[in-house]
Structure 1
Amino acid sequence: MAEEVATPPRKFAWLSRNTVLLALASLFADISTEMLYPILPVFLTQTLHASGSVVGLVDGIAQASQNIVQGFSGWLSDRQQRRKPIALAGYLLAALAKPVIGLAASWPTVLGARFFDRIGAGFRSAPRDALLASSVSEAHRGKAFGLEGFGDNLGAFVGPLLAVLLMSALAVEIRWIFYIAFVPGLLAFLMVLLVRERPATAVAAKARIDVGLKQFPKAYWAYLLATALFGIGNSSNAFLILRTQEIGASLVTTTLIYAGFNLVAALISYPAGFLSDRFGRKGVLLLSFGVFLVAYVGFALAGSIQLIALLFVFYGLYQGMFRAVGKAFASDFVPEQLRASGIGWYSATVGLLELVASIVAGLLWDHVGHAAVFLYGAVFAVVGAGALLVLVPGGIGGRGTRPPPNSPEAR
């Protein structure tokens, strides 16, 4: 009888149908969203003749709505033990809302459509991430989130460039950009439609009657606290754009710099996830905090467009690492039946603290000085890194996986 030869594991065995489809969904969804990012303020102020305060109101309500709903959608997904239908509803709602903005005759219609757009974006996020986490083993989770982050950030790179191309080279009227944005949004919906969701196990089904904040282990709450302390200083990227224009960059130059930032974030996402699988999430996340610290100090001191552009590229490293590894780390601390809730409340924490940080940054920008915004962020980068290092279990080289269910740390 011939001796059986063991088949060596394939290098990309983790690269499943679901991981590819979800990465493509993020790519198309972000192309759809970021096509509108640079033109929405122009549409409001020049086409609809709204004031600057209306621009702030529309964006503030939209972002806050997206952040708040993420925790709820994660809870609902775990409660029902269904990921795909909830994610699909979010993708479809976000896609349908974009052409409504183009049809608007006044800013309240834009506010309503933008509100539903961001509700859809927030509603899909946690169930999608839970689908992604369950599609691979824990040992490959960082790579899966890195690939999804690559798709997301690549979409953020392509979207603004596509909008500029359509308006400048093809002379497409601004309202038509909102109509065209529906197409990649619909493609994102179709990608998720093709995802195969595993049926809930008997253990996971228990979550339908037992999903609550008390079910999360202490290690998860420690991680959320460290994330919140860092997030208090992590304000909107709009202040980086304002700083770039303050130095003297034109709108076109600023847009290109911003697109380059998203490209770097896309390129680093997968390597960051791979490194977190190989050497540990905590160490890579600490590195991202360090990159953020250096970049923010640089933005406070920079005095030339060239240096600002270099700092934006450097800051892209932080963006790609933090997005890919942060969610993977959050999913490590919770059992599968609570995964959508765990990622959802993590994302809500990041988003809500960014809103707080942006309010504080606005006050500092107006009343203290522009450099104060970035020095303030740098201080809390140090505080957040210290909290992550001291409070969150697991060594710098460990993934920080959740403790056994009956251990003291889990209770």
Structure 2
Amino acid sequence: MAIASLFTDISTEMLYPVLPVFLTQTLGASGSIVGLIDGCAQAAQNIAQGISGALSDRLRKRKSIALIGYFLAALSKPLMGLSTSWTGLFGARMLDRLGTGARSAPRDALIASSVEEKKRGRAFGLEGAGDNAGAFLGPLLAALLLSLPQVGIRSIFYLALIPGLLAVCMVLFVTDNPEAVVAQSRLGAGLGRFPVMYWKYLLVTALFGLGCSSNAFLILRLQEAGMSLQATILLYSVFNLVAALVSYPAGYLSDQWGRRSMLLLSFVIFLIASLGFALSRNGILLPVLFVVYGLYQGISRSIGKTLAADLVPPELRATGIGWYSATVGLFQLVASIVAGELWDHIGHAAVFYDGALFAVVGIIGLLVLLPRGTGNGLCISASRSPEMCQPLSTDHERPTQ
């Protein structure tokens, strides 16, 4: 699955740093449209992840659902390149994110069930390293292709199909071995069995997510500072390299120190980077801040899902991870739409002040709502408050782990 993530992110990240420029310079879209498209696409991805996670738990099928998602995401790439208006690209981008969402929760459930609990952080860190390594290589490949005189910006979208199909091929080698649990009778049947701590975690995620808008605004900020397209793509590649390098160590440390501590660190890094992007006019400092932001990306991606997996019972693992991701996506949609309006009507720095504000709110929420000891393969330290691990409903005999 880590190798599949490597290939699929090569495919996706060949396009991501090109998309804002393609939208604004080729298709004539505004900053508000960029925020709308990326926010809606991300929300679609994460809502699909919630639905596919619940479906995966109900059917006890991981591989087949994931395989469909990988294929749809690969197919969407050339469709984006064929677009002649932002509305056409919007439709293809939605297909891409729906496919990505459909595959993600079943994939994460496969990963969570493939290792013992005390190594779960490392498992997600390994997959995150593959994902972010692909995100490092994808922009490099795009920059190399764009340096060739015969390759135009649309050609990048067509060529991205190749690594996308390689990812599909890798999934064919995966063994589908879901937990031996009773399937739920309907998609929402397990929601009442989520523990209180899981819902508090979703609330923290939502509060922080209100300021976590699309990375497209970081790319536009670099372009505004005078960086060339190729230099921006190369810097974006370095950003993803940092995220790849930190993913596995972050997962390992979360197994030792707990998820809460690592998640708090990622929130603080996001706050520092947001303030830096808001305040700085320095053409040298902005690239440095962008690379620092990669630390947040690498830590939060693996730790966020690992903690969601920790806080739910095994038979609802894909559902729990899926609805965590749905929360991330919905609030990133709101954040991206707001950021687009701030970018167009108030000022570019306002986007990043908004991110810093909600980072502070998220940090406070994390400290207040998630007690010390949350994570590390456990719902919460039993010596502190074992009742916090109990489900909201008492209709089921088996408590959550």
- Taking structure 2 as the reference length, the TM-score comes to 0.89
2:362 matches 1:362: no
Q: Go from structure 1 to structure 2 and tell me whether the alpha carbon gap of 1:191 and 1:246 turns closer, same or farther (over 3 Å shift).
A: same
Does the 8 Å CA contact 1:394/1:400 hold for their aligned counterparts?
Answer: no
Q: Structure 1 residue 73: deviation in Å? A: 0.7
- What are the Cα deviations for residues 228-263 of structure 1, in whole angstroms up to 9, with x where unaligned? 111111111122222222333222222222221111
Secondary structure of 2:213's partner? coil
Corresponding letter in the other structure for 1:171: Q
Secondary structure of 1:194's partner? coil
Q: Go from structure 1 to structure 2 and tell me whether the alpha carbon gap of 1:277 and 1:313 turns closer, same or farther (over 3 Å shift).
A: same
Q: Structure 1 residue 399: deviation in Å? A: 4.8
Q: Structure 1 residue 42: deviation in Å? A: 5.2
Equivalent position of 1:5 in the other structure: none
2:241 matches 1:263: yes
Distance between the aligned counterparts of 2:289 and 2:86, measured in 1?
35
Does the 8 Å CA contact 1:285/1:325 hold for their aligned counterparts?
Answer: yes
Match of 2:221 among 230, 238, 243: 243
Q: Go from structure 1 to structure 2 and tell me whether the alpha carbon gap of 1:313 and 1:122 turns closer, same or farther (over 3 Å shift).
A: same
Distance between the aligned counterparts of 1:378 and 1:162, measured in 2?
32
- What are the Cα deviations for residues 1-35 of structure 1, in whole angstroms up to 9, with x where unaligned? xxxxxxxxxxxxxxxxxxxxx11111111111111
Matches within 5 A, 1:3-402: 22-41=1-20, 43=22, 49=27, 51-52=29-30, 58-104=37-83, 108-169=87-148, 171-201=150-180, 204-208=181-185, 211-395=189-373, 398-401=376-379
Corresponding letter in the other structure for 2:150: A
Greater shift, 53-62 or 241-250, is seen at 53-62
Q: Structure 1 residue 81: deviation in Å? A: 1.2
Larger relative CO (CA 8 A, sep 6+): 1 or 2? 2
Identical aligned pairs, as a percentage?
63
Does the 8 Å CA contact 1:334/1:402 hold for their aligned counterparts?
Answer: no
Distance between the aligned counterparts of 1:285 and 1:366, measured in 2?
32
Q: How many positions carry a matched residue from both structures?
A: 386
Distance between the aligned counterparts of 2:85 and 2:207, measured in 1?
39
Does the 8 Å CA contact 1:281/1:400 hold for their aligned counterparts?
Answer: no
- Taking structure 1 as the reference length, the TM-score comes to 0.87
Does the 8 Å CA contact 1:163/1:177 hold for their aligned counterparts?
Answer: yes
Q: Structure 1 residue 50: deviation in Å? A: 5.3
Does the 8 Å CA contact 1:136/1:144 hold for their aligned counterparts?
Answer: yes
Greater shift, 30-39 or 124-133, is seen at 30-39
Q: Structure 1 residue 410: deviation in Å? A: 1.3
Q: Go from structure 1 to structure 2 and tell me whether the alpha carbon gap of 1:396 and 1:341 turns closer, same or farther (over 3 Å shift).
A: closer
Q: Structure 1 residue 368: deviation in Å? A: 3.1
Does the 8 Å CA contact 1:75/1:340 hold for their aligned counterparts?
Answer: yes
Corresponding letter in the other structure for 2:290: F
Secondary structure of 1:169's partner? coil
> What 5-or-longer segments of structure 1 have no aligned partner?
1-21
When the two chains are superposed, the root-mean-square deviation of aligned CA atoms in Å is: 2.4
> What 5-or-longer segments of structure 2 have no aligned partner?
392-401
Q: Go from structure 1 to structure 2 and tell me whether the alpha carbon gap of 1:397 and 1:223 turns closer, same or farther (over 3 Å shift).
A: closer
Distance between the aligned counterparts of 1:245 and 1:54, measured in 2?
17
